[in-house]
A and B are shown apart, each in its own frame.
Chain A
Amino acid sequence: MADTKTKEKKEGTRGGGKAELDGFSRDMLHWFLKQMLLYRRFEEKAEEAYAIGKIGGFCHLHIGQEAVAQGVVGPLRPDDYVVTSYRDHTQALAKGVDPGPVMAELYGKKGGSVGGKGGSMHIFGVDVGFMGGHGIVGGQIPLATGIGWAIQYRESDQICVCFLGDAAVNQGAFLESLNMAAVWKLPVIYVVENNEYGMGTAFKRVSALPVVDRAKGTGVPGHAVDGQDVMATWTLIERLASEVRKGGGPQYVDARTYRFRGHSMSDPVSGTYRSKKEVEEKKEEADPITILRDRLFEAKLLKQEELEEMDQAVRVIVDEAAKFADDSPLPTADDLYTHTYKEINEHGRLFLDGRDR
């Protein structure tokens, strides 16, 4: 599984080698493609496992939005932070959480990234700066702002990226957070994964302004980018990250993308709120993996057999992750009460259920 942690690149470089396409080296572009294939295959495996009952609860897939994860998380330093919503598997992988524990978490296993306590919506990987998937729409925005606050408090040059869905910009937490971030010039980049729908409600039906304009009243500069174009996304975030790192204050990005699946595994892909035709057209024209693949083919930077090798390699990683999840034991009764409190006080009762522990 070490293949997925290709972290040899350095911030601000495009892979070190000879620039071959829009300033990106061939190695770098291959890495983008391979990572995005990993995210896609991982989610497809989760979809399959959900269908046969290995995964329960809510499971929000990221299929169609891979370029945002790669283009946003890719340019960050290992010690930077990422906070996100409940659509979090792919960002976790992008930040460097191993696929095995992510899959095992979906399976509700002890070997999961949070021991089976969180499930799909609450992947954490604090050792790699992945500060969690959070389940309430917009709830993660103040958290990211606080992480930015702490970075500034310690006079560090880290940054924090906060992913949110388009629907989250209608929450009060969004306005309150961006205002504070702007007032105090906090090192946070707020990235809206604008997939056009909050569950089954089209964003344009519930907002008078487009996503990119929704930060305007706060003083946080807004930018729009084609979130299906990994190179464009990377280029923008690399520039913004450098400005934020230098103390330039927060930034806001409308990354325009599209979700190829339903809101969660229990929701329809299309139907009452969007047409099958719309989804099929988007898959045809705006698949971020196909877009990058075709550009590489066109520039003669990728051969069919290289693509097949790459796909084969990520399928092996995903199969290993699924095997890890299958083989991992279930959490036990001993785990039920652990990690409710960090400090069990010497006096008094913390648990009032009257059960034996």
Chain B
Amino acid sequence: MATITYREALNQALAEEMERDDSVFLMGEEVAEYDGAYKVSKGLLDQFGDRRVVDSPISELGFAGLGVGAAMVGLRPVIEFMTFNFSFLALDQVINSAAKMYYMSDGQVHLPMVFRGPTGAALQLSAQHSQACQTWYLHAPGVKLVTPATPADAKGLLKAAIRDEDPVAVMEGELLYNLKGEVPDPEDGDFVIPLGLAEVKREGGDVSIITSGAMVHMALMAAGNLEKDGIDAEVLDLRSLRPLDVDAILATVQKTNRVVVLEEGWPYAGVGAQIAATIQEEAFDDLDAPVLRVTQADVPMPYAKNLEQMAKPSADRVVQACKKVLYTD
């Protein structure tokens, strides 16, 4: 095991998969000569050349669609969005082409491709650069979505996404790129984490915090604070939002009977809404309290530091929500 950053873990995943399979190429804004806006692709141009590591023009709709077209005839494109905020310009190609092509061609065309980049808020980037984009990609059947929280998950899930036969969005945490963690060494074998497997990041028996992506760290912080009050919280990291590990969700509900869903995005039609619906449909009798959600405030992200703090979910809000479902507040 080596301790590396989330950024290096993603870089390793790209390099290993490009090494393994010549049909994999990386395209996006600034990915080649600039080494990537977040330096995820550092060194890949030197290693693989400009045939396979390609700077695109600022044309999200165009290069996302180009990726779909290349995948239609068997290449395995990795399309990087500098951030998923910019991918809204490409949503026609994501939703109308990528998600639906396999179905509407009745299986004649499948799309082994990845859309990746950071999602969620960083610091004081305000409304158009601070949003969790998961819901847009989850709503339409046909696209899979993973949200790695740790360097190991980043590497293992990106490799799985590149090998998957369907379009997979890999949404990275904008504030996680410098996060360090242990990742199995390449010499110890191929490290791939299958899509659809959640992971309990902290065991606990009193209340379940179900979350994913960057919010996993907030949930762990909240769990640490709850411990001081004698409350033992379990943190379930979904890791993959489609396929969704419903078995793991039901297992933690059955264990603690109390659930808080923590998500970075807005509440309306969000990930938490889906999870709460699934829990009440399939584990209603296991619940001792209503499922609560901690989300971003239902407003665009403001710039001012104090307002931004108020808008974002926080460990304190998670603690409060947990106490509420435990009826101890």
Question: What is the CB-to-nearest-CB distance from A69 to chain B, in angstroms, rounded to a whole number?
Answer: 20
Question: What is the CB-to-nearest-CB distance from A155 to chain B, in angstroms, rounded to a whole number?
Answer: 10
Q: Does B218 contact A (CB under 8 A)?
A: no
Q: Does A131 contact B (CB under 8 A)?
A: yes
A-side residues, CB < 8 A to B, are: 81, 83, 113-115, 117-118, 122, 124-126, 131-132, 134-136, 139, 141-151, 153, 172-173, 176-177, 179-180, 183, 338-343, 345-352, 354
**CB-defined contacts of B103 to chain A, threshold 8 Å:** 117, 339-340
Q: Which of A141, A144, A347 neighbours the largest number of chain B CB atoms within 10 Å of its CB?
A: A347
Q: Are B243 and A350 in contact (CB under 8 A)?
A: yes
CB-nearest residue of chain B to A133: B104
B-side residues, CB < 8 A to A, are: 25, 51, 56-57, 59, 61-75, 77, 92-93, 96-97, 101-110, 112, 141-142, 144, 164-166, 194-198, 240, 242-246, 274, 278, 281
Question: What is the CB-to-nearest-CB distance from A3 to chain B, in angstroms, rounded to a whole number?
Answer: 25
CB-nearest residue of chain B to A146: B69
**CB-defined contacts of B25 to chain A, threshold 8 Å:** 153
Q: Are B194 and A180 in contact (CB under 8 A)?
A: no
9 contacts between A and B (CB under 8 A): A126-B109, A146-B69, A173-B92, A176-B61, A177-B66, A347-B196, A347-B240, A348-B196, A349-B246
Among A117, A172, A180, A348, which residue has its beta carbon within 8 angstroms of that of B246?
A348
Q: Are A345 and B65 in contact (CB under 8 A)?
A: no
Q: Are B70 and A149 in contact (CB under 8 A)?
A: yes
Q: Are A145 and B66 in contact (CB under 8 A)?
A: yes
State whether A118 and B106 are in contact (beta carbons under 8 Å apart), knowing that A146-B65, A347-B197 are contacts in the complex.
yes
**CB-defined contacts of A338 to chain B, threshold 8 Å:** 106-107
Q: Which of B73, B104, B107, B243 neighbours the largest number of chain A CB atoms within 10 Å of its CB?
A: B73
Q: Are B102 and A339 in contact (CB under 8 A)?
A: yes
Among A139, A342, A350, which residue has its beta carbon within 8 angstroms of that of B97?
A139
CB-nearest residue of chain B to A158: B73
CB-nearest residue of chain A to B107: A339
Cα A177 to Cα B96 with chains together (Å): 17
Cα A319 to Cα B263 with chains together (Å): 58
Q: Are B70 and A115 in contact (CB under 8 A)?
A: no
Question: What is the CB-to-nearest-CB distance from A86 to chain B, in angstroms, rounded to a whole number?
Answer: 11
Q: Are A342 and B165 in contact (CB under 8 A)?
A: yes
Cα A292 to Cα B225 with chains together (Å): 83
Among A141, A146, A354, which residue has its beta carbon within 8 angstroms of that of B71?
A146
**CB-defined contacts of B61 to chain A, threshold 8 Å:** 142, 172-173, 176
CB-nearest residue of chain B to A331: B106
Cα A339 to Cα B109 with chains together (Å): 10
CB-nearest residue of chain B to A341: B166
Cα A125 to Cα B193 with chains together (Å): 35
Among B56, B65, B106, B243, which residue has its beta carbon within 8 angstroms of that of A348?
B243
State whether A352 and B142 are in contact (beta carbons under 8 Å apart), knowing that A124-B109, A173-B61, A347-B245 are contacts in the complex.
no
Cα A180 to Cα B195 with chains together (Å): 33
**CB-defined contacts of A151 to chain B, threshold 8 Å:** 73
Q: Are B62 and A340 in contact (CB under 8 A)?
A: no
Q: Are A135 and B96 in contact (CB under 8 A)?
A: yes
Cα A134 to Cα B109 with chains together (Å): 13
Q: Are A146 and B105 in contact (CB under 8 A)?
A: no
Q: Are A352 and B244 in contact (CB under 8 A)?
A: yes
**CB-defined contacts of B278 to chain A, threshold 8 Å:** 352, 354
Question: What is the CB-to-nearest-CB distance from A89 to chain B, in angstroms, rounded to a whole number?
Answer: 16
**CB-defined contacts of B70 to chain A, threshold 8 Å:** 146-147, 149-150, 153
Question: What is the CB-to-nearest-CB distance from A119 to chain B, in angstroms, rounded to a whole number?
Answer: 9
